[in-house]
Amino acid sequence: MKKTSTRLADGREIIYYDLRDDAVRDAVDRRPLGGTTTASEIRYDPLLAEWTAVTAHRQERTYHPPADACPLCPTRGGHLSEIPEPGYDVAVFENRFPSFTGGPGPEAASGPPGLLTHRPGAGRCEVVCFTPDHDSSFASLTHEQARLVMDVWTDRTAELSLRPGVEQIFCFENRGAEIGVTLQHPHGQIYAYPFTTPRTARMLDSVARHAARTGGRNLFDDVVAAEAADGRRIVCESEHWTAFVPHAAHWPYEVHLYPRERVPDLPALSEEARADFPGVYLEVLRRFDRVFGPDEPPTPYIAAWHQAPFTLPARGQRTGGTGDGAAASAAREDFALHLELFTVRRTSGKLKFLAGSESGMNVFINDVPPERAAERLREVASDCQPPGVLPLSTHR
C-alpha cells in the first residue's frame, strides 16, 4: 500500500491509498475554493450524562447532487470534484462540513450550579471513498480492494488517535437514502471524537460489572461463546471471524462480526485476521442485498466499527455515558473490536421507523425474530462458497 498526502484548494488534507507502489498523485485542485468556516461545539446533557454536538455550518452541506456533479467521483474533463486525480483506489479527505474539527479548548459552564457546560467540538471528520465507480458498492469490491479499505481504516485509526483531545475513533458506512445518505457515491466516514461515546461507555460499564459478578470473566468473550454454542443465530464463519444475529437484536436484520481473537481496535488485529476479513464481510454484505428478494432495490444499511477508546476517563470525569466513571474500571484490553451491520428495512417495501418507544425511551421493538433473521441470511448465501468462508458445521 502506498500512501500519498496532499492538500485541496481550501487547505484540507486529502490522502490517496494505492495498491501499486509506483502510483503518482500530483494533481492540483483547480477549484476556486475559499477557506472553510466551522463552528462546532459540544454541550453536556447532565440528565443523560452525554455530549451533543451543535454544528450550524452543516446545514450548507451538499445534498443529493446529480450523478454528473458528484463531489466524490474523480476529477475528469470539466468535472472538478473533491478528488483532483482522474482516478484512485481509495481516497480519504477532511470533510468540508465536519461535526468535529480542530484542537481541544477550555470547558465553560454557566447557570447554577454550572449545569450548562460546553466546549469546542474538537476532533476530525474524514470521508473515505472506497472506489471511483459511482454506481458501485462496497459489496461489489474485489477481495484486494476490500483489504485495502481495511488497511485504510487501520491506518486512519492509528494516526487520528495521536491527535490532541481525541478519545475514540469511529469508522462507519451509511448506505441508502433511507438511512439519510446525501451522496450516493460509495463512501464511508471516520469520526475522531473528543469524548467516549455513550454506547461505548455503556458497553464498558457492562463489561466491568460482568467481570465483578463472574470473577473476572470477559463479557464480550462470553457473549460470542454463548452465540456459538446456541448456533441458531450464526450467519457465517471464517477461520478468524464469526458473524451472527445477536440474541437481543434491535433491528430487523442486524449482524455482528467479531474476530475470534479479542482485540481492542483495528490496529491490534493480526495479519491473518486482516487477510481473512474480506471474504466473510463481502459475503455478509452480498447476503444483505439478497435478503428481501431479487426485485428489491439495494438494501440500505449502516456498518459501524466499535473500537475501544484510546483514553479511558478517570473516575468522576464526564464521559459519553454514565458520567460516574464506572467505565474506567474496564481496561482498553477488555473491549472487543467488532463491526455491527444493520438495515432499517424490515420487509419488502417497508421501513423500521424509530417511533415513540425507540426515540422517546430508547426501548427497541423488533418485528423480526433474530432466529428468523439469521435463518433468512443463511438461505441467501452465495451459490459458490466464497473464499475463506467456512461451512457452519466446521466449528460446531
Query: Is 185 annotated to bind ligand?
Result: yes
* From 57, 64, 143, 187, active-site residue: 187
A 10 A CB-CB count for 95 gives 21
DSSP 104-155: ----EEESTTT-EEEEE--BEEEEEE--S-TT--GGGS-HHHHHHHHHHHHH
Cis before 113 (ω within 30) = yes
Q: Which helix (H) or strand (E) holds 212?
A: helix 198-214
Helix (H, G, I), strand (E, B) or coil at 64: coil
- Asked if residue 167 lies in contact with residue 126, where contact means CB atoms within 8 angstroms, the answer is no
Q: In whole angstroms, what is the distance from residue 319 CA to residue 50 CA?
A: 7
Q: In whole angstroms, what is the distance from residue 128 CA to residue 221 CA?
A: 31
Those residues with Cβ within 8 angstroms of residue 354's Cβ, 6 or more apart along the chain or in another chain? none
Helix (H, G, I), strand (E, B) or coil at 387: coil
Cα-based angle 326, 219, 325 (whole degrees, multiple of 5): 5
Query: Is 70 annotated to bind ligand?
Result: yes
Q: In whole angstroms, what is the distance from residue 319 CA to residue 14 CA?
A: 31
Distances (CA, A) of 210 to 202, 220, 223: 12, 10, 11
The reply to whether 118 belongs to the active site is: no
- Asked if residue 83 lies in contact with residue 72, where contact means CB atoms within 8 angstroms, the answer is yes
- Asked if residue 316 lies in contact with residue 340, where contact means CB atoms within 8 angstroms, the answer is no
Name the residue type at position 89. D
Q: In whole angstroms, what is the distance from residue 259 CA to residue 251 CA?
A: 22
Binding residues for Zn(2+): 70, 73, 134, 185
Task: Give the catalytic positions in this structure.
Answer: 187
Binding residues: 70, 73, 134, 185
